[in-house]
Amino acid sequence: MRIGVPKEIKPQENRIGLTPESVKTLVSEGHEVLVENNGGFEAGFDNEQYKAVGAKIVHKASDIFNDAEIIVKVKEPQKVEIDMIRENQIIYTYLHLAAAKDLTEGLLKSKSINIAYETVTDDKGRLPLLAPMSAVAGRMSVQAGAHCLEKNQKGRGILLGGAPGGEPANVLILGGGVVGENAAVIATGMRAKVHIVDKSELRLKQLTQIFGDKIIPEQSDKTDLNKLVSEADLIVGGVLIPGAEAPKLVTKNMLKLMKRGSVIVDVAIDQGGCVETSKPTTHGDPTYIVDDVVHYCVANMPGGVPRTSTMALNKATLPLLIKLADQGYKKTLQENKNYLAGLNVYRGKITFKGVADAFSLDYTPPEQALSQ
């Protein structure tokens, strides 16, 4: 099968869909891989590395979209890319459609086959293709938040971990999933005072086993969120409903409770954000201020560490890609319900309920869509 890897064109997105090592594996299985010129350069992978393992370097994205049967990306197709997608072409990437109506409509119109990394599951209901980037984003969220707390960034002018004679910052982590756990790794490592809010008592017990008395677990239906927000110096939003828009846990009115110069890092922004005042930003212009609260809402945080992110992502995404290339999408998806959960838009139909519900559009179960 012919697999195409275009260069990412979202602002400040420096990751690439496949590493040279992944290309080597695919070529050894008899597949042809097309990589756009300098597509991996910012992630530390040059053209020569791709050519050495059998990839063909292509100078125009349009040629890749025109020739490839599978398009492998990192971020959702941008407007110019949507226009190049062909009918029955497989798009394999992060999509986050529940927060992107124009993209959803564009993919429906293209009649392509769209498999979203973020909704593929495993036998325990986890999201193994989302997890590595959630881990990276969770760790970056505290680094970014600590930087934003500096006075020259319009923050409170405090050091996250405090200092002799100075109290550490209060960090409030919303959501105890992969993002929340990894945010806690960094926040506790920096010796901040860390509260983690989650609705699951079991998950909070697991986090307590991991971190001990370095965190303060808070069950969402038994805690005073207003009080926690008012005391927080840094809030990390890591709430996820798979494939659906994130719930708004922090309202605009709650911002009035926060201290001047406190910081919100909304990692959930890819799915619309879990803070009412959040809006997507970029690495080039990452913050804005609402009611004296600094908001950091970069929608592709792991793109800031592209080499680490690309390598971690490929380890998770390559096994399914190999199956799609070796045996075709129908057999692969019909034989494995976890892979099938990744099918979001199929030949003009929405096949993921969270996306259909987000825009009040018709939903077709993926099993039914594939059988037609």
Whether residue 154 is found in the same domain as residue 234: yes
Residue 354 covered by a domain: yes
Q: pLDDT tens digit string along 230-275? A: 999 999 999 988 888 899 999 999 999 999 999 999 999 989 999 9
* Number of independent structural domains in the chain: 2
Type and span of the H or E element at 107: helix 101-110
What CATH number does the domain containing 354 carry?
A: 3.40.50.720
83 is catalytic: no
Catalytic residue among 198, 233, 266, 270: 270
125 in a structural domain: no
Question: What is the average pLDDT score of the chain?
Answer: 97
Report the run of H or E that residue 226 belongs to, with start and end: helix 225-231
Question: In the annotation, is 270 catalytic?
Answer: yes
Express each pLDDT in 304-349 by its tens digit: 999 999 999 999 999 999 999 999 999 999 999 999 999 999 999 9
Q: Which of 246, 271, 299 is the last residue of a domain?
A: 299
Domain ranges, residue 269: 131-299
364 within some domain:
yes
Query: 30 CB contacts (<8 Å, ≥6 apart)?
Result: none
Whether residue 293 is contained in a domain is answered as: yes
Pair 244, 96 in one domain: no
pLDDT of 372 > 90? The answer is no
Name the residue among 58, 52, 110 with its Cα closest to residue 84.
Answer: 110
Looking at the structure, tell me whether residues 269 and 203 fall in a common domain.
yes
Domain assignment present for residue 126? The answer is: no
What is this structure's pTM? 0.91
**Given the structure tokens 């996250």, which residue do they identify?**
160
Domain contains 158: yes
Tell me, yes or no, whether 213 and 360 share the same domain.
no
Which listed residue (31, 96, 195, 295) is catalytic? Answer: 96
Are residues 349 and 215 part of one domain? no
Among the candidates 264, 299, 334, a domain finishes at 299
Alpha carbons 131 and 178: distance in angstroms, whole number: 6
Same domain, 70 and 147: no
Domain termination residue (choose one: 275, 299, 323): 299
Do both 187 and 315 map to the same domain?
no
One domain for residues 20 and 91: yes
Q: In terms of domains, do 169 and 274 share one?
A: yes
Q: What average pLDDT does the segment 29-40 reach?
A: 98
Looking only at the bridges linking them, the beta strands covering 170-174 and 234-237 are parallel
Are residues 328 and 238 part of one domain? Answer: no
124 lies in a domain? no
